[in-house]
Amino acid sequence: IKGGALAGRHVLVTAGPTHEPIDPVRYIANRSSGKQGYAIAEALAALGARVTLVSGPVSLPTPAGVHRIDVESARDMAAAVETALPADVAVMVAAVADWRAETSAGQKIKKDGSGAPPVLPLAENPDILAGLARNPRRPRLLVGFAAETENVVDHAIAKRARKDADWIVANDVSGDVMGGDSNSIHIVTRTGVESWETMPKAEVAQRLATRIADEFA
C-alpha cells in the first residue's frame, strides 16, 4: 500500500489536445503539448494517489505509476472520463476542441479543380468539465483549467461559475507558455483567488498536487 497525502484517493486527469477528424488525413485540434497535465498527473501519483490519465495525442512518456488511457476525439475523451468514475478528484487540463467536423469523410477530400474551397460544417463538442459538474458521480473536488490571454482572473471567475467547477486554474498564456516549461497561474475558488508567481511547470504541478491534498487533510 502506497503512503502519501493522497493515498487511497482516485484522481482523474485529462491532458493534451483532442483531434477531431475531417477525413483520414486531416483533423481539427487545439495547440497543447500535454506537458502541464502530465506533470500534474506525475505529481499527484507521487503523493500516493491512484491516477487515471485520459490523454489526447501527445508525444510524452507515461509518468511513473500513472494509468494512461489514450483517446483521440473529445467524444472519446468524454466516454473515457465517464468510464473512469468514480473519482475523488478530477483535474481537467486537456485543451479540448470546442468543435468537430459534423461528419468525417471516409476518403481523403480532394481539390475539385474549381478553386472553390470545401465547406466544413461544424458541430459543438460536449463540454467534459461542465458535464462532470452535473454528473451524479461528480468528484468531490472538480478542477478546471482556463488558458487566457487577457483579463485572466475575470474570465476565470466567470468560467468557474458557468461550468460549476470547484476551482479554475487560470493560465496566463500571453507569453511563451504553450509548449514552454514555465507557467503563471491563478487559482480561482468559490471564495477567492490565489495568485502564484511564474514558476516551472513541474513546480506548478507539485504545488497544485499539494494544494489538492490539503483539501483532503
Alpha carbons 2 and 144: distance in angstroms, whole number: 27
Alpha carbons 12 and 86: distance in angstroms, whole number: 9
* Three-class SS state of 101: strand
Which residue ranges are tagged as binding site for CTP?
98, 108, 126-129, 145, 159, 163
Nearest approach in angstroms of CB 37 to ligand C5P is 9
Which one, 5 or 164, has the nearer CB to ligand C5P? 164
Nearest approach in angstroms of CB 3 to ligand C5P is 29
Nearest approach in angstroms of CB 212 to ligand C5P is 14
Place of cell 452535473: 134
Alpha helices per DSSP H over 32-173? 35-46, 74-84, 128-134, 152-163
Which one, 66 or 142, has the nearer CB to ligand C5P? 142
Q: Is 125 one of the catalytic residues?
A: no
Alpha carbons 105 and 6: distance in angstroms, whole number: 45
Nearest approach in angstroms of CB 187 to ligand C5P is 13
Which one, 98 or 215, has the nearer CB to ligand C5P? 98
- Kindly list the residues in this chain that would bind ligand C5P in the complex (CB under 6 A): 14, 74, 92, 94, 96, 98, 125, 127-129, 144-146, 159
Comparing CA positions, the residue from 19, 58, 20 lying closest to residue 37 is 58
Alpha carbons 122 and 21: distance in angstroms, whole number: 11
Contact 202, 183 (CB under 8 A): no
Which one, 45 or 91, has the nearer CB to ligand C5P? 91
Catalytic residue positions?
A: 30
